[in-house]
Structure 1
Amino acid sequence: STHIISLYYNNSEITEELLKNELFPEMSQEEFKALHEKMKGLLKSIASADMDHAQLEAFLTAQTKKQGGVSAEQAAALSRFWKSQRVRVRESLLAQSCWETGLRGLSWRVDLQTAASRGDVAYSGPVALMELELGRAGQESEFVCLEFDEAGVSQVLKKMADIQESVDRIVHRT
């Protein structure tokens, strides 16, 4: 399963040669290369489909019955790896595929503004302060601070409800 880690965690220190020497020293280079490519292909299929337990078992069972497929021992190793590393592999794949900055964190509070603090005699009311932590994988975070009055909060909530509705429509269509 170490070769799987190199594929999905971008660890350049883990080479094909290191894997062969550590995992299968008795295997010829050609045999190892074929096994490595087969396992890499199977894991790509498993990861791209983000297989759940039932899908994984069905897929691996089919692979063990297929001519030139995997042995029961290899299928069991893939199954153990996927069950224990599914979340990390998924996060790694998502991080590798994201080009844009993503939301890493959000904190907020509500302050009660007084007319004197705003320099506005006519206004006194609650203000929502939101801090967004933004960043890309492997880069430092940036922080953006936003301030909303009651109308601004209502507008943001309406837009978020619209987004949720769109996501729900897409999810329930598939």
Structure 2
Amino acid sequence: MADVEATKSLSGLLNGIAQQMFYKNSDITEELLKDELFPELSPDQFKALLDRMTNLLKSIATADMDHAQLEAFLTAQTRKQGSGGVSPEQAAALSRFWKSQRVRVRESLLSQSRWEPGLRGVSWRVDLQTSASRGGGAHGGPVALMELELGTTGQDSEFLCLEFDEAKVNQVLKNMSDIQDRIDRIVQT
């Protein structure tokens, strides 16, 4: 019976950590978790358990571990039980938690990492002026027209229309090339 209670308490702790860390529920506090789930532990013992489980969940979520990766990770953690590892019961609780919460945690992390408003769509075209201006026979150059669809989750889109002449298009392309070069340098380091 004590093992069943310990398993329930650990599952509750993992869910509480997820509520704090992934779902940004500020009603879940360390004190609440300790008082409700582990009143028998000293504050230091509880803090050590909380930190260990929090770090393990961060590692699992950051890697978005699939079943095989999770099992290998937890096996390695049980082998180093004395030095910050986990017990087989804790590993089993982590495994059950991740199997049931992986999709929800992933969606939460993705939604937290999105910029708002976001770019929902882009459409563009290039127009050529074919008629001569009144003062002479010179034709205007090509004009690029771009429409950006911007929006915040749960709200209607807004549209932004931009017009570029050839010089501005070349400037935008150069800026995008510079950005790509910077990203490539960061990725290579």
Fold equivalence (TM over 0.5): yes
Instruction: Provide Cα deviations, 1:75-108, integer angstroms capped at 9, x if missing partner.
Output: 312442564345324325535xxxxx65611423
**Aligned-residue CA RMSD (Å):** 4.4
- Answer yes or no: is 1:167 the counterpart of 2:180: no
Change (3 A) 1:59 1:102: same
Q: Unpaired runs of 5+ in structure 2?
A: 1-13
Within a 5 Å distance, the mapping from 1:152-163 to structure 2 comes to 152-163=168-179
Amino acid at match of 2:74: L
Q: Give the CA deviation at 1:10.
A: 1.0
What residue number does 2:140 align with?
Answer: 123
Q: 2:125 aligns with which of 106, 110, 114?
A: 110
What is the aligned counterpart of 1:74 among 93, 108, 112? 93
Paired position in structure 2 for 1:90: 109
Paired residue type of 1:162: D
Whose radius of gyration is greater, 1 or 2? Answer: 2
Pairing 1:50–2:60 present:
no
Which AA in structure 1 matches 2:39? Q
Quick one: which of 144, 150, 165 aligns to 1:149? 165
Change in 2 beyond 3 A, CA 1:37/1:144: same
1:17 to partner: Cα distance = 8.2
| Number of aligned residues | 161
Q: Distance in 2 between matches of 1:37 and 1:139?
A: 38
| Residue deviations 1:57-88 (CA, integer Å, cap 9, x gap) | 44322222213614231231244256434532
Identical columns (%): 37
1:16 shift after superposition? 6.4
Instruction: Give me the TM-score of the superposition, normalised by structure 2.
Output: 0.57
Secondary structure (helix, strand or coil) at the match of 1:127 reads strand
Q: Which one is further off, 86-95 or 71-80? A: 86-95
- TM-score calculated relative to the size of structure 1: 0.60
Distance in 1 separating the partners of 2:20 and 2:76: 26
Q: Compared with structure 1, are the counterparts of its residues 60 and 138 closer, same or farther at alpha carbon in structure 2 (3 Å cutoff)? A: farther
Note the alpha carbon deviations across 1:87-130, whole angstroms, 9 max, x for none.
Answer: 324325535xxxxx6561142322536478x9997426332223
Instruction: Report the alpha carbon displacement of residue 36 of structure 1 after superposing the two structures with TM.
Output: 4.7
